[in-house]
Chains A and B, each alone.
Chain A
Amino acid sequence: MPDPNAQTGKAMIEISGVTRKFGAFTALDRVSATINEGEFFSLLGPSGCGKTTLLRLIAGFDQPTEGGITIDGQPMEGMPANRRPTNMVFQSYAIFPHMNVQENVAYGLKRMRLDKAEEKRRVEEALTQVELGHLGKRRANELSGGQRQRVALARALVMRPKVLLLDEPLSALDKKLREQMQVELRHLQKQVGITFILVTHDQYEALAMSDRIAVMFDGQIAQVATPKDIYQRPVTRQVADFLGGMNFVSAEVAAENGTSLTLKTRGFGQVKTERPEGFVVNGGTATLGIRPERLRVLWDDDRSENEIAGRVVDRHYFGEITHLIVEIPDLETPLSVIETNDFGADDIPVGSQIRLAFDPDALVALRD
C-alpha cells in the first residue's frame, strides 16, 4: 500500500490541448492540465461548461476531436474504456438493478477470475470501506440514495484503479448527507491514496475536498490552483465571481513589471499586487477585487493603517453574520462587507457613517 498521504508530485494524468466538438459546437476548447498521483482534483464550473465531457474523455467513453490524454505515462489514444486504469462513479450511480449489492461490487472482479475466497474478501473489504458491510444481500432497488452512492463507490474502488472519476456524486443527496459524505469521501481518498477527479458545480464542495481545483467556463479552464489560492487569488473576474462574493473596484495601472502591478484606485489608494497569470495591461486600467469578509468594521477609536470611510445603505442579517452594503464616496458601486455578529454588526443602523479597515494584500488584480 502506498503511503496514503504522500502526493509524489508524479504526474498521473496529462491532458494536452484537448478539444471536443459536437458538430459546430465546441464543448471543450484546447484544455490542458496535469493531475498528480494521489491528488484530489476537482473540476468546478457552471452547468454546461464541459466538466462531464472532459471526464468522459478521460474514462474513454468519448474521444477528443484534437489533443491527447496520457494516464500514468501511457497515451490513451485508441484505448477503449474497458482497458483504461480508471473507474467511474456515475452521476446516476448506474447500479445494476438485476443484482444485489454484493454482485454489483463483485461485477468487475468476475473478469479477473480470482479464487472465490479472495473475491469475497475484496468485496467485503470494499463494502466495509464505505460502511455497507451489513447490506450485501440487498437488491439495488431497496437502497436509499446515499446507500446507492456508496455501492457505486465500492464497486469502483474494489477495482483498485489508478484514477477514480466521480461525476457529481453527491448532487442527488440532501444537504446534511452531502456534507457528511464530503468528509467521508475525503477521508477515504486519503486512506486509499488513489487519484480522485471530482466533477462538481458546488464551489463549497470543491473548496472543502480538493487538493487542487480547475475552474472551467465555456469549455476552457480558467484557473488551476489550490482551494485557498482559487478563493483568495482568483485570476479572472469570472472565477472570482463564481467562488462567492467579490467587490470589484476599477483602478489605473501606475507601474508594472513582470511579477507585480502597482495600481491606483480612488477608494483604496495606491496598492501593489501580484500580477495575475496572463494579465495584459489594456488601456492602463485594471479591476481589483476584495472579498467582503476581508473588510473589517472599525469600532469607536480603532485605528488601522488602511482605512476607508462610508455610509451604510443596507443591512442583511444571516444569523452568525451580517451583510452590510456600504457606499463609499469615491467608488461607483457600494462595497459589500461581511462581519461576524459577535461585536454587534447586526445593530449598526442603516444610514450611519462607518470606517472599514482592509489589508492591501487582500486586494487582487483580476483579468477581465
Chain B
Amino acid sequence: MTAAVDHVMPAPRQRTVRRNWLRSEQGRGFTLLSLPFLYALTFLVLPMLVVFAHSFWTQTYLTIDRSFTLENYRIALTEPIYRDLLLRSLFISLTVSVATVLFAYPIAYYISFYGGRRKGLWLFLITVPFWTGYLLRVMAWKVILGYNGVLNTTLMGLGLTDKPVESLLYSTNAVILTLIHAWAVFAVLPVFVSLEKIDRSLIEAATDLGDGPLRRFMRVTLPLSLPGVTGALLIVMIPTVGDYVTPKLVGGTEGVMIANAIQAQFGRASNWPLGAALTVSTMVIVTAMAGAAVVVMRGFVRALR
C-alpha cells in the first residue's frame, strides 16, 4: 500500500479501517456472498459465455473460425426442421406443465386440507417412486405403453381392441405422459406450500359471507394459491423444453425435441456453433414463454376477484 506512505494517515490506522469495513454490514454481506458468487461464476456464467461466444462463430471442418457471424441464428430460426422442432418442444413443455399442474393441484389440495396429522407421511409417500433413477422410470413406461405392453394387453383382454394399438409408444403422447409422471412431485410441492400458507379463517370468512364450496374456492383458495401454481408451472416448463432423454427413449421419430437436435450438433454432427445458436435461441424463447406465463397468471388472479 503505497498510499499509506504518501498520505499523512499512518499505516496502522488504515488497517483498522479495512478491518472495520470487513466487519461492517456491507463488508460482511460481500464476504458471505463471495463464495456462492465464485461458484455461480465458474459453473453458470462461464459455460454460458462459452456457449454464447460459440453461437457467433463458424465451424470449418475440424477448427472453428472465430469471426463474427449471425448465420447460425439464421439457420436455427428459419430452417424448417429446427423451427418445427422448437415449436414442438414448446408445445410439449406447455402441455406437460399445464397438465402436470392440473394433475398436481388436487393432490396438493387433498394433502393440505384433508391430510390431518399425516401430511408429512403423504408427502413422503409421493416421493417414493422418485427413489429409483429417472431412466428406470422411463423404462417402466416403455413396459406399460409398448406393443406387447401392459396397456395393450389389458385393452385386448377387455376386448376393446383386437390388435395392439401401435401409437401408444414412440409418439408425442408417450413423451407427454412420461414427462407428466416425471415432474408431478415437483409440481405438488410448491402448490402444497402455497395452500398451506392460506389462513383457514379466510376460507371460513368467505363461507360466512355466503359463498358455497365452489365459489369460495374460486374466489379465495385459488387466487391465494396462484403463486404456487405459477411456480409449479415454471419449474416444469423450463426444464422440459430441454429434455432429450425422454424423447429419445419413448418419443420415436415423431416425439423428437429441440434438445435432441442440439445434442446432435454437439455430438455426431460436430457443429458446435450451430448447437450453441440453437441453445441460445431456445433459452431466450423459454424465458419469454415463462415471462408470458407469469403475466397470464397475474391477469387470471385479477379476473378471479
Residues of A that sit less than 8 Å from B by CB: 59, 61, 80-83, 86-88, 90-92, 94, 96-99, 103, 107-108, 111, 155-156, 159
Contacts and interface: CB of A to CB of B under 8 A. Distances in A.
14 contacts: A61-B204, A61-B207, A81-B204, A82-B207, A87-B208, A87-B209, A90-B205, A96-B202, A97-B224, A98-B305, A103-B305, A107-B206, A107-B209, A155-B209
A235 to B, nearest CB: 34
B6 interface: no
Interface in B155-173: none
Contacts of B224: 97-98
B78 interface: no
Contact of B204 (A90, A107, A108): A90
A111 B207 CA distance: 12
Contact of A81 (B208, B219, B301): B208
Nearest to B198: A97
Interface string B196-238: 0001011011111111100100011001100000000000000
Given A108-B209, A155-B209, A94 B201 contact: yes
Given A96-B220, A98-B223, A98-B305, A88 B205 contact: yes
Contact of A92 (B199, B208, B210, B305): B199
Nearest to B208: A88
Given A98-B301, A159-B210, 13 more contacts: A80-B207, A81-B207, A82-B209, A87-B208, A91-B201, A92-B199, A94-B204, A94-B205, A96-B206, A97-B202, A108-B209, A111-B211, A156-B208
Contacts of B207: 61, 80-82
A94 B305 contact: no
A99 B304 CA distance: 11
Interface of B: 199, 201-202, 204-212, 215, 219-220, 223-224, 301, 305
Contacts of B201: 90-92, 94
A368 B25 CA distance: 64
A80 B206 CA distance: 13
A22 B244 CA distance: 55
A96 B212 contact: no
A90 to B, nearest CB: 5
A61 B201 CA distance: 11
Contacts of B215: 111
Nearest to A100: B305
- Give me the 8 closest cross-chain CB pairs, A-B, nearest first: A108-B209, A94-B205, A94-B201, A81-B207, A88-B208, A82-B207, A111-B210, A82-B210
Give the secondary structure class of B's interface.
helix
A299 B224 CA distance: 69
Given A99-B305, A111-B215, A94 B210 contact: no
A290 B207 CA distance: 47
Contacts of B210: 82-83, 108, 111, 159
Contact of B199 (A94, A103, A111): A94
A97 B305 CA distance: 12
Nearest to A110: B219
A99 B207 CA distance: 16
Nearest to B212: A82
A87 B207 CA distance: 10
A116 to B, nearest CB: 15
Contacts of B219: 107
Contacts of B211: 82, 111
Contacts of B223: 98
A151 B241 CA distance: 46
Contacts of A88: 204-205, 208
Determine which residue in B201, B207, B209, B211 has the highest number of CB atoms from chain A within 10 A of its CB, and name it.
B209
B276 to A, nearest CB: 43
Nearest to B205: A94
A46 B180 CA distance: 53
A88 B202 CA distance: 12
A249 B140 CA distance: 83
A87 B219 CA distance: 18
Given A61-B204, A81-B204, A90-B201, A159 B305 contact: no
Nearest to A97: B224
Contacts of B208: 59, 61, 81-82, 86-88, 156
